[in-house]
Structure 1
Amino acid sequence: MNFSTTTRAKAACDEAFDAGDYWPSLDELSLVEAAVTEASRELQVAREMALMCAFGAMATACQRQVDVKMPTGHTVPTSLMLLTIADSGERKTTTQKHFFRAITELNDAAHRSSETASVEHRVEHQLWTTQKRHLERMYSKHAAQEDEASALAALEKIAEHVRAEPTPARSGKFLYEDTTPQALVQMLYENAPDGCVLTSEANSIFSGKALGELDKLNTLWDGSSVIVDRISREGFVLQNARLTLSLMAQPSVISRFMAKRGEEARGTGFLARFLIAKPRLMAGQRTDQQLSELLRLRSFNARIHELLNSPLLTERQVLSFSEQAKDRWFQYSRFLELQMKENGLYFYLKDHASKLLENTSRLAAIVHTFERTSNNQTEIDCSTLEFCWKFTQHCSKHFIAHLANEPQIVIDANHLAHYLLKLASKQDPFALNKEEKHSRASSNDTRAELPRDLISGARATFTITQLKQFGPSSLRGRANTARLEGAIDLLCKLGHIAKEGSRYRFQESILLRQEPELKNGEIVEVKELPLFNEQEFWTPQRGYGYTAGYYIKVR
């Protein structure tokens, strides 16, 4: 495994900008990547916040145009449910305003047009009502005169007139903020059937009645028909509608909601459908700078405008995956299935895991539709799928951290890693602890062959018997054998443990010469060990004492 100078420079830049929480990037020439990078830099907001806003706008524009056929043969909508959790002062409203500019303008224009049409409809309906009263008077007159033929003719005219009652024109409005699921379904039925709930302060939604009927929002996400039966008014069936939620809320609002209704929201599968991000804090770290013309964001909004103004087909176009992408999709599917077994990452999060790959597929279809240059390009390539999988992995990590309890296997892996680090310091009295790393990297010791900003980290060997006797108390004994094996297996997948005969080898940096099956800091985070993006694969020149492998970066 070799890294080019360009790759290393990009990795360093990404690390510095994302401050230890690396969110994936698209190709440099990508329109959405350029807009997100520009917004992050110029607005001085976290990259993940810009990504969430961009995907919300893109989903709103694309959901009316395309569906996606998953490799299993099941076709699903491309709507998304996005939730960004950020404190006041993180520029939620500003970021959302820039990415949704074209959408807001088109919705405002549709609203103005609807108001004009509504006035015309009231005038037309008033004239219709006046004519109806006249016909009713004529019927009454003929009936009073017992002129049956004339009365019958008058009735036929009334019937014909009633059938021609003017109906209000369907509004093109599609953007909503403070509403309830019941009212939302009604508006999607009366207005454009493809809508978006957009708010940068979702306090009213998470603390009000908007989530009183979670099943309706679930049904809309699924793309199924919503049946509304009423006693006082005529019922209806909302069919083939699409709804994207692009919500932002403060942590305190989400905490209150989870305390009051979190169990219900998890139980119904409502929260499992969300992609969650809690961006790193930027308030207090910004510098004074003049805002540029934001040309990339302007191009982004031009593309959104183009998609929303594209003629609607009789049926949505169905996108599919390339053969290579299908193979990768099934790899992800097998991974999720394994992790939903006992001692897996998602054993207690099956609701979330079961929606993760579908969300990945939806996002891949959205990115493909937004970036493509021709409507004839209907196959999603593997690189797009890989990017979206990495993004949803990060969202999964944030879901676990902020909406669900940390899986037991991650807790056990942290306890085991803590024990092994202590064991390493006993087995190697010259091992460096975390406080000494920086001074060791900058000193002139006998192992200076390594670059001054890299260290190998602590190392230890152990046996299963040793861990059962002296390891973390929660993992000792026969009763906890399954938990111990699960923790070891997770650290193996992260690349920090390898079996060698009857013994195991542990290393603080990754042991492997290739990328591990799991990367620490993506789906799962073992806090006792360095994150994947805090390590670098280094290849020594000939004659150096160190071998090629992963080493921990120090600042």
Structure 2
Amino acid sequence: MENEMQNRTENSPVIPPVKQGRSPEYAAEIEEFRSEILKAGLSSPNEIIDDGRIHRFSSNGKTTDNAGWYVLFTDGIAAGAFGCWREGVNIKWCSVDEAKLTQPEKHEFYKKIAEAKKQREEEEEINRTKARSKASKIWTQSTEEPTDHPYLISKKVQPHGLKLYGGKLVVPLYDQNSILHSLQFISSDGEKKFLVGGLTKGCYYPIGGAPDKILYVAEGFATAATVHEATGSAVAVAFNANNLKPVAIALSAKFPNLEMVICADDDHQTKGNPGIRKAREATLEVKASIAVPNFGETRGKDETDFNDLYQVKGLKAVRTCVELNRMTVDEFGKGTDLAVLAELAGNWEAEPEPVLPQKKPSPPFPLESFPPIIREAVTETLEYTQVPVGFACSTALGVAAVSVQHLAMVARDPQTVGPVSLYILSILRSGERKSTIFRKMWQGVRDRQKELYEEWEHYEANDHNQVDPILGAESPPRILFEDATIQGLALEICTGVKSVLLSSSEGGTIFGGIGMRGDALMGAIACLNKAWDAEPQSMTRKQAVSTYLDNYRLTCLISAQRETLQEWLRKSAGLPEGMGFVARFLICVPKTTIGDRLYVSAPEFTPKLDTFIEMCLTHLRTKTDLATVPTLNLSSEAQQEWVDYFNIIEAAQGKEGPYEYNTAAASKIAEQAARIAGVFTLFGNENPKEIDVDTMKMGIDVAQWFLEESLGLMGEMGISQVQRNAANLLDWLKKLEQDDEEPLKLSDLLQIGPRCIRSKKERDAAVEILCTYGWIQIRNWKNRKVILLHPLISNS
């Protein structure tokens, strides 16, 4: 087999004499960092310097090597990253389990990793720029066509455009745009080295000019030269097995209409046969064919590639293999027996990918950050309803918000003043007792609505010298809306109570309403977006009553099943996400309690809940002029706490940050924290003047929990039924008792597989996903298609 790029040996990594870093108090962390470098198969730096800057070191133990790099921070929690440009290693490290970090610690960790990545990329670009310049200079100075070089003589191939520099063959590495990036140097005895710092991934050396109808890709120069001399066709040198797939991808994009053949090295003496495994991966990636050298029964143990085949059987044998005996990946397994199938099935990726998005386990809801009145009501209710904690807390928070949203505004700074209204969305399965918890937490809102109805009836029954604009309306005033259209809601607010709750325990009544679909959707979302900020807005209608909203408040409290929300988002063509509507919601996707809810008798009395309900009623009865409500300022300490949180979240939205792809929700979470702190302050205090630092910390804790929940929302919503079928099939395969003599046939799934894939269309779609994600392979065996299982399935 062609020697690969300047690889380290398979011996144990070199461990140099240890020197301490700059911070002796972090000696244990530095040694743990060193240990991780060794575990990655790299030699360790002689000295590890923990100054937060990038440092180079020899990753293969040779004094002339400096392909390794590391960055280590020890201020606060020790964290860093390390890797090797030559080997493509890039690993981040933290001295503490990431899952155990607090939110501020997580943000600090991600900032450090982002800084390390930035340094690495800058260093890498500098090195590659230098390598390109040096490669061009050396290539220009090299002499032409060294036909008498000992390496070419030993391999019995022509130079095919190579040059000579310092007694070594020089092979240029070009990208698909024909830009020279690096050089490979081959000595007389076959030792190969690359130019330090140059780009190799996806780069190749073309032999034979522009391809016509077919293009071959091989690992090393001698193998590629052999294939060209045997066929006369164009061949690309990929330089090593790991580069086969990147080169195949690049050339497939450059020559999309050509047939491509990957010429594999058959490393039959190497564990895992990397030559065939990597060639197969490249073949699968670009839907090419694969050619493997056939040495017959007299094969020597060192005979692995097409140049070896040429040496023992001549060019005709090479041409026969690559032109007549090449195979598609499916054909590669045809006609083999079970033992060969099992051997082929050992060529898996290290680990298959998850079929469904992996949502990190949610941290417990920070119930201790709720004010006592709300916390005790939730705790008492959870004891017998046994709903998810996050759902009960979210519901109580929404009810508290509507109870106080008319009492004050919150000023995050002198120019940034807003309401304390909240939009909250909980996503749960059917059977999670959504209606139960809503009925209990809503009670104060319902009681107030009943009082308003009675006041309206009394008003209607009596004469009045002065007309009350609310009680004198044709219909009773409402503060709770469960199924109103957006236009109807706006009209009710315009003519009735100015502080209301849009809420439903079955979100379909809101998301599926007339005003939330079709041509009306964009206007409805725009209206609700403005209502979140209590912005003035008008709705002009030619065939209906026009409305103008000002000095009003709206809280939304909605729970919905995943399927309901998913269907609405699908039909909405991206508008809810694109217009920032979803990002305004505090998202709750709690872990189900179904299956763990053993019967608990409800108590005769619920004093804590009753106190909460009475407090809601007290606030809802308080009349205010929304045009002149007071403003809650932050205390100086609370202001600093809020600013620190704002800055942490902003940094975490940068490149490589935890919220890089969740900026819509993250960019609003600091404001949400201030709103929640405002709700807590107003709900538990009479005539509060400001938000103190402890309450701000409580608001931040609760807001951060919701932000973490929102990370899994889009992944959850993006799961198709086909993916869920594939996940069900995977679970079924894990439980299936395997027969070592008779593999599972593809056709068996229609008779004995899970019910969700009993049709051919559903089966094939689920099987394709499991193949794509690396859980199974489909092979031909005795004229039937059989399913080979990844070892993780077989061992489960």
User: TM-score by structure 1 length?
Assistant: 0.58
Matched, 1:254 2:559: no
Q: Partners of 1:299 and 1:199 in 2: how far apart? A: 23
Q: Is the 8 A contact 1:25 1:387 kept in 2?
A: no
Aligned equivalent of 1:172: 477
Aligned equivalent of 2:621: 309
Q: Partners of 2:482 and 2:490 in 1: how far apart? A: 13
Q: Is the 8 A contact 1:228 1:237 kept in 2?
A: yes
- Give 1:244's match in structure 2, choosing from 555, 560, 568: 555
Give the percent of matched residue pairs that are identical in Structure 1 and Structure 2.
25
Q: Which amino acid is the alignment partner of residue 612 of structure 2?
A: F
Q: Is the 8 A contact 2:362 2:708 kept in 1?
A: no
Aligned equivalent of 2:674: 361
- Give 1:348's match in structure 2, choosing from 637, 661, 667: 661
Q: Secondary structure at the match of 2:500?
A: strand
Aligned residues: 347
Structure 2 CA distance for partners of 1:94 and 1:345, relative to 1, 3 Å: same
Q: Is the 8 A contact 1:58 1:304 kept in 2?
A: yes
Q: Is the 8 A contact 1:71 1:329 kept in 2?
A: no
Task: Map 1:71-470 to 2 at 5 A.
Answer: 71=413, 73-114=415-456, 117=459, 168=473, 171-211=476-516, 212=521, 213-233=524-544, 235-261=546-572, 263-292=574-603, 293-313=605-625, 315-372=628-685, 374-375=686-687, 377-403=688-714
Q: Is the 8 A contact 1:77 1:222 kept in 2?
A: yes
Q: Secondary structure at the match of 1:362?
A: helix
Structure 2 CA distance for partners of 1:120 and 1:261, relative to 1, 3 Å: farther
Q: Is the 8 A contact 1:80 1:221 kept in 2?
A: yes
Deviation at 1:111, TM superposition (A): 2.9
Q: Secondary structure at the match of 1:336?
A: helix
CA-to-partner distance for each residue in 1:388-429, whole Å, 9 max, x for gaps? 2222222112212023589xxxxxxxxxxxxxxxxxxxxxxx
Q: Partners of 1:189 and 1:72 in 2: how far apart? A: 29
More helix by share: 1
Deviation at 1:268, TM superposition (A): 0.7
Structure 2 CA distance for partners of 1:391 and 1:262, relative to 1, 3 Å: farther
Structure 2 CA distance for partners of 1:262 and 1:61, relative to 1, 3 Å: farther
Structure 2 CA distance for partners of 1:235 and 1:28, relative to 1, 3 Å: closer
User: TM-score by structure 2 length?
Assistant: 0.41
Q: Is the 8 A contact 2:633 2:689 kept in 1?
A: yes
Deviation at 1:381, TM superposition (A): 1.8
Structure 2 CA distance for partners of 1:41 and 1:54, relative to 1, 3 Å: same
Q: Is the 8 A contact 1:171 1:192 kept in 2?
A: no
Q: Return 5+ residue gaps in structure 2 as ranges.
A: 1-75, 77-99, 101-360, 466-470, 718-796
Q: Is the 8 A contact 2:447 2:617 kept in 1?
A: no
Moved over 4 A (4+): 115-121
Q: Which amino acid is the alignment partner of residue 339 of structure 1?
A: A
Q: Is the 8 A contact 1:85 1:278 kept in 2?
A: yes
CA-to-partner distance for each residue in 1:84-109, whole Å, 9 max, x for gaps? 11112211111111111011111123
Q: Partners of 1:365 and 1:184 in 2: how far apart? A: 25
Cα RMSD for the two superposed structures? 2.8
Q: Partners of 1:405 and 1:343 in 2: how far apart? A: 22
Matched, 1:31 2:344: no
CA-to-partner distance for each residue in 1:311-335, whole Å, 9 max, x for gaps? 3256212111111111111111111
Q: Which has the higher contact order (CA 8 A, sep 6+)?
A: 1
Structure 2 CA distance for partners of 1:28 and 1:48, relative to 1, 3 Å: closer
Q: Partners of 1:264 and 1:382 in 2: how far apart? A: 38
Q: Partners of 2:649 and 2:404 in 1: how far apart? A: 27
Q: Is the 8 A contact 1:118 1:168 kept in 2?
A: no
Q: Partners of 1:270 and 1:74 in 2: how far apart? A: 21
Deviation at 1:354, TM superposition (A): 1.8
Q: Return 5+ residue gaps in structure 1 as ranges.
A: 2-10, 12-18, 125-165, 407-555
Q: Secondary structure at the match of 1:265?
A: helix
Q: Secondary structure at the match of 1:244?
A: strand
Q: Partners of 2:540 and 2:371 in 1: how far apart? A: 50
Q: Partners of 1:199 and 1:96 in 2: how far apart? A: 8
Matched, 1:48 2:390: yes
Q: Secondary structure at the match of 2:514?
A: coil
Structure 2 CA distance for partners of 1:350 and 1:288, relative to 1, 3 Å: closer
Q: Which amino acid is the alignment partner of residue 614 of structure 2?
A: A
Q: Partners of 1:188 and 1:338 in 2: how far apart? A: 39
Structure 2 CA distance for partners of 1:174 and 1:49, relative to 1, 3 Å: same
Q: Is the 8 A contact 1:102 1:301 kept in 2?
A: yes
Deviation at 1:296, TM superposition (A): 0.5
- Greater gyration radius: 2
